[in-house]
Amino acid sequence: MSTRVRLREAWTITSGEARDTVVQCGSTDTTYVERYVPVAFFFERTVNEERLAEGLRRALGLVPVFGGRLRADGDTLEIVCSDAGVPMTVLDVDASLGDAIQEATHPDWGLIDRVDVMSEPLELRPLLTVRVCRLADGATTLGCTWNHSVGDMGSFMQFIRVWSALVEGTAPPEVLMVDDREGYLDRVLPQEDSGQPVCQPPSPDESAGQGRTMPLMREDNGTVQVYFGDDEVRRMRHLFGDARSRPLSSNDVLCAHLATAFRGMEANPVPWNLSIPVDLRFRLGVPTGFLGNLVQSMFLPCPPKGTADVLAAHIRSGLDDFMQSHRCMRSDRAFVGPVGRSRFHRCTSATFDPPHRTFIVTNWTRVGVYDVAFDGQYPAFFSPVVSSRAPLSWFGFLTRGFGGTGFLLTAVVPARLAEHLRSPEGRAAIHHFEDPAAERPARAVLAPDVA
């Protein structure tokens, strides 16, 4: 990190209420045992770190899984609510808010505190880390990294809402933490599903019990952020859905536009696939506060010459019919049996297939990242902290843009495509539906290099 940095504080935050609670993880949780998700909230003014630390201490008392540790016992993965704690560091950083926002695509800059999954034993790894950067212009960043086995983005944001409420002195939302996640899903999942597990059974030439392993594909990657204004997206919805009886959502048109635009930038367009993760809480009648991984992907093929409006309609149809045509959690759990949970995390989803241009688009626009206040202020910006050194490409996250306006894609793609997207030609192609006269002051001020 070339920017001057000074360590101000380093704590391990505990609730002081160690419990005997042990949460038995489900099969989906097990696939994420080595995956940590890094994100950062950006605030225009100083956020008091001592109030943050006190709120975090109280939040861990209400949601102890984030302060516990993982324990593997044969084919069983458990979260032990041991109150081992959450590392929290506070740094003084000689940089501005604009500098920090532009570094969201460079994890080594220091916005988040990374966990070393290669050398640190499983039982010692924190399940959440927190880093506060006090910036030279009085702004503050709050970087969080959590273990995906604890829960998905919905779970993390419920914890953030609890933390925010305790800092602000308001009533925290309800949290549903079940001891046996697999047993709970047995009670809420319909008995029948599509019958096609996301993790495919092993082929005859693969080792018995190993499942479909991660496809090997190493190439230079680049991380790019692409901002779409609200008017730009409304124009897409109107043009793509003008002749449709069912209105298209912003997610429908953005996913379709991104897949077809990226495909069109290749010299020889080939068939693509699109993978869209779907939160099942509402569809299953599960409370918002359920902690765990209750997300499953919808997989759609994208023909080499298909148009964005047709693809958007297919996305809408698939999401409307998701519970009948795409839901496969029971089939996935049946697949776990012969593989064994101790090895299941080495398998990969059939939809995660970068060599065949499977583009994964995760939508976080409705999880409320701009609705949580800390020390009296709401975020000016939010972003995943994504590294271009990821071993695989073709995945991205959709969030709301600056101040909760517009839409921001943060994606890891091949470096050649990232470079093209930053060029005038690439920007013209990706912003084909933008009004040239539209003003984007927030984007220009905070992140002028965003495509």
In DSSP terms, which residues pair with 120 in a beta bridge?
Answer: none
Q: What is the pLDDT of residue 448?
A: 40
Q: What is the pLDDT of residue 323?
A: 77
For residue 277, the surrounding DSSP H or E stretch is strand 272-279
In DSSP terms, which residues pair with 10 in a beta bridge?
Answer: 89
| Residue 284 DSSP label | H
Chain position carrying tokens 């949601």: 63
Q: Give the relative orientation of helices 181-188 and 329-339 as an angle to the nearest 10 degrees.
A: 140
> How many Cβ atoms from other residues are within 10 Å of residue 238's Cβ?
13
How far apart CA 336 and CA 76 sit, in angstroms, is 12
Burial of 198 (0-12, 13-18, 19+ CB in 10 A): buried
pLDDT tens track, the chain, 451 positions:
467 899 999 999 999 988 889 999 988 898 889 999 999 999 999 999 999 999 999 999 999 999 999 999 877 899 999 999 999 999 999 999 999 998 888 877 889 998 988 889 999 999 999 999 999 999 999 999 999 999 999 999 999 999 999 999 999 999 999 999 989 988 988 776 654 555 554 444 444 444 444 444 456 888 999 999 999 999 999 999 876 667 899 999 999 999 999 988 887 777 788 999 999 999 899 999 999 999 988 888 888 888 999 999 999 998 988 777 655 665 566 655 555 555 554 555 555 555 567 899 999 999 999 999 999 999 999 999 987 676 678 999 999 999 999 999 999 999 999 999 999 999 999 998 988 776 654 443 344 446 6
Residues 148, 274, 433, 419: is their CA dihedral positive or negative? positive
Q: Pairing mode, if any, of strands 140-147 and 86-93?
A: unpaired
Write out the two tokens for 395.
Answer: 């995945």
Q: How many residues does the chain have?
A: 451
Chain position carrying tokens 């869209």: 276
Task: Give pTM, 2 decimals.
Answer: 0.89
Per-residue exposure over 440-451, b if at least 16 CB sit within 10 Å of its own CB, e if not: bebbeebbeebb
Q: What is the pLDDT of residue 205?
A: 44
Of 363, 277, 368, 385, the residue nearest 327 (C-alpha): 277
Q: What is the pLDDT of residue 145?
A: 97
How far apart CA 402 and CA 382 sit, in angstroms, is 8
**297 close to 198: Cβ distance less than 8 angstroms:** yes
Of 248, 249, 272, the residue nearest 261 (C-alpha): 272
Chain position carrying tokens 């993965």: 77
3-state SS, residue 190: coil
Ramachandran bin of 292, using left for φ above 0, alpha for ψ from -120 to 50, beta for the remaining angles: left
In DSSP terms, which residues pair with 92 in a beta bridge?
Answer: 6, 134
Burial of 421 (0-12, 13-18, 19+ CB in 10 A): buried
How far apart CA 449 and CA 99 sit, in angstroms, is 11
Q: What is the pLDDT of residue 210?
A: 41
**161 close to 289: Cβ distance less than 8 angstroms:** no
Domains of the chain in start order, with CATH, are 5-187 (3.30.559.10), 201-446 (3.30.559.10)
For every residue of 221-267, DSSP letters joined together read EEEEEEEE-HHHHHHHHHHHHTT-SSPPPHHHHHHHHHHHHHHHTSS
Please tell me the number of Cα atoms within 13 Å of 351 on its side-chain side. Answer: 21
For residue 129, the surrounding DSSP H or E stretch is strand 128-135
How far apart CA 293 and CA 345 sit, in angstroms, is 14
How far apart CA 419 and CA 403 sit, in angstroms, is 27
3-state SS, residue 209: coil
Write out the two tokens for 327.
Answer: 């839901």
Q: Which residues contact 107 (CB under 8 A, 6 or more apart)?
A: 38, 114, 385, 386, 387
Ramachandran bin of 340, using left for φ above 0, alpha for ψ from -120 to 50, beta for the remaining angles: left
